[in-house]
Structure 1
Amino acid sequence: MARRRGWNGSPPDTDDEAARRIVAAAVDLIAVTGSAVSIADVAESLGVIRQTVYRYFPSAEALLRAAAIASVDGFLERLSIHVKGIGDPVEAMTEGVVYTLAEVRRTPHLGILLTGTHSNVHPEGLTSHEARAFGLTMIRRFDVDWESYGYDGASLQELVEYVLRTMQSFFASPGNPPRDDDDLRRFLRRWMGSAIIAQERPQ
């Protein structure tokens, strides 16, 4: 059972509830600060000592990963709204990449899910199994009839890997100066778009 002291006068009844409240506090703090948070920050917001948080999450990395997972549904819902009604795969993917690049930079816990670290965005994490699974979930939410464009399960996975590697390059070197959103869309449509439509469509 969770310890019943602290918790701003309203202690949780179970360990599961305690863990959920810790994660929720981390998500809220990240939303406010726009950056990764520490165990001490989360403990202070809950009115508990750091050791209480460590009981459920052994490190800031573990806690922020849990915050990322808790937040991903919200991100996917916002992304789905952003690309809603776009049936063209090039346009949908272009908007998806532009939106995701901006969201990951604004929201550290999404960067954790994609890159596996809480300190900075590490581009090498973008090709992890976790990132590819996330990317596949993401593009399946698009209003694109992928089969009609010749994509099956295997080619969709390759497309996800290609797009993640494209985003990887922008994290590693955003450009000097970085492209604004409109210029980035033009660039992606021309070069990433050519790769997307290269898939042979069924006769």
Structure 2
Amino acid sequence: MRRHGWSGNIPVDDEEAVNRILATTRAAIDTHGTVSVSEVAQTLGVTRQTIYRYFPTQETLLSATAVSSVASFLDRLADRLGSITDPTEAVVEGLAYTLEQLPHDRYLSLVLQPGKASAFTAGVTSDLAIGFGRSILERFDVDWAAAGFAEEALNELVEFMLRTLQSFILDPGRPARTGRDLRAFLNSWIAPAVRAHASERTW
């Protein structure tokens, strides 16, 4: 790590540098709704090149900030749905609750809504998107391996969920399904696919 700048307060390592950059970006988004690399650099007392060393583009900076800031959503998810042990119910509720919370959580919107900071910017199969999807499933008290979803199968399940989320986000429907109607739809069409895969793998 280069030993200059940072307004005289040099980070002890790259991890601290990244955390400071993310915290500064988050504060700017909370205040103004958006931020530029130049603003972050100026606030921290470094050059733009220093920021780009850790985050090669503004899009990757915004993405990392958004993903690092969805902890409150994941905590709410755990509080409400963490006791679910059935994999099919977990997938349905995970999808429904995420869609319901999307309009009310700034950082969840940044992660999932199409745009510069979205987990979908690089596609639903990007490492960023898969990592976020897995963080949702890991909040449930489900033994995914015992349910037939070992490592690769779990990644495929996450991809399936992300593709479903992306479809609902891009076109919520006319009118958009919510509450019982949303869960009924997911239980009719998504649940059988999850249930069949789990049965096949545990046979």
Q: TM-score, normalised by structure 2?
A: 0.72
- Shift, 1:2, TM fit: 3.9
Look up the equivalent residue of 2:9 and give its one-letter code.
P
For residues 86-109 of structure 1, the C-alpha deviation after alignment (integer angstroms, 9 at most, x for no partner) is: 112222212211233355555565
Match in the other structure for 2:47: 52
- Residues 66, 117 of structure 2: 8 Å contact kept: no
For residues 134-163 of structure 1, the C-alpha deviation after alignment (integer angstroms, 9 at most, x for no partner) is: 323431331123344333333322222211
Look up the equivalent residue of 1:52 and give its one-letter code.
T
- Residues 115, 131 of structure 1: 8 Å contact kept: no
- Residues 30, 109 of structure 1: 8 Å contact kept: no
Q: Structure 2 regions of 5+ residues with no counterpart? A: none
Q: 1:187 aligns with which of 166, 185, 195?
A: 185
Match in the other structure for 1:156: 154
- Residues 115, 124 of structure 1: 8 Å contact kept: no
Q: 2:5 aligns with which of 3, 6, 12?
A: 3
SS in 2 for 1:143: coil
Distance 1:195 1:165 in 2: 14
Look up the equivalent residue of 1:55 and give its one-letter code.
T
Alignment: residue pair count: 194
Distance 2:158 2:19 in 1: 31
- Residues 22, 53 of structure 1: 8 Å contact kept: no
CA, structure 1 residues 195+32, in 2 after alignment: closer, same or farther (shift >3 Å)?
farther
Distance 2:124 2:156 in 1: 14
CA, structure 1 residues 12+107, in 2 after alignment: closer, same or farther (shift >3 Å)?
farther
Match in the other structure for 1:22: 21
For residues 26-75 of structure 1, the C-alpha deviation after alignment (integer angstroms, 9 at most, x for no partner) is: 12333455x4433355457x375xx7345323542232133134335554
CA, structure 1 residues 136+4, in 2 after alignment: closer, same or farther (shift >3 Å)?
closer
Q: Percent identity among equivalent residues?
A: 38
CA, structure 1 residues 99+32, in 2 after alignment: closer, same or farther (shift >3 Å)?
farther
Distance 1:70 1:36 in 2: 16
- Shift, 1:24, TM fit: 0.3
RMSD, aligned α-carbons: 3.5
Q: Structure 1 regions of 5+ residues with no counterpart? A: 6-10
Larger displacement relative to structure 2 (72-81 or 108-117): 108-117
- Residues 115, 123 of structure 1: 8 Å contact kept: no
Distance 2:37 2:114 in 1: 17
Look up the equivalent residue of 2:125 and give its one-letter code.
T
Q: 2:83 aligns with which of 82, 85, 110?
A: 85
CA, structure 1 residues 118+52, in 2 after alignment: closer, same or farther (shift >3 Å)?
same
**Aligned: 1:139 with 2:141:** no
